[in-house]
């Protein structure tokens, strides 16, 4: 999946807030990008206690990042 700048910003914010168990509330113009990320499994839609729609980092996204780190650390190694 090729990510737009907005999608990368959304993922960065969701990843950073996930460390405290939180999600991000976004402005209406960013919904299409957030929807695409949710459809791809990167983000999850949930409502806050205040009833606002928020976007949360998913376990699948964490796994993808961990896998990416693993693959990068293996690059250049020769058996």
Which CATH number covers residue 30?
1.10.10.10
Does the predicted TM-score (pTM) go above 0.85?
A: no
DSSP string, 36-58: HHHHTTSEEEEE-TTS-EEEEE-
SS3 content of the chain, % helix, strand, coil (to 5): 55, 15, 35
Into how many domains does the chain fold? 1
Q: How far apart are CA 23 and CA 38, in angstroms?
A: 13
Q: What is the pLDDT of residues 26-72, one digit of tens each?
A: 999 999 999 999 999 999 999 989 999 999 999 888 776 654 544 45
Query: Domain limits at 42?
Result: 5-74
**Domain for residue 79, yes or no?**
no
């Amino acid at each position: 999946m090729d990510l737009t700048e907005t999608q990368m910003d959304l993922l960065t914010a969701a990843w950073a807030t996930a460390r405290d168990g939180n999600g991000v509330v976004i402005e209406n113009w960013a919904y299409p990008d957030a929807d695409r990320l949710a459809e791809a499994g990167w983000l999850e839609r949930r409502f806050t206690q205040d009833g606002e729609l928020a976007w949360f980092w998913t376990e699948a996204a964490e796994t993808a990042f961990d896998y990416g780190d693993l693959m990068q650390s293996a690059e250049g190694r020769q058996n």
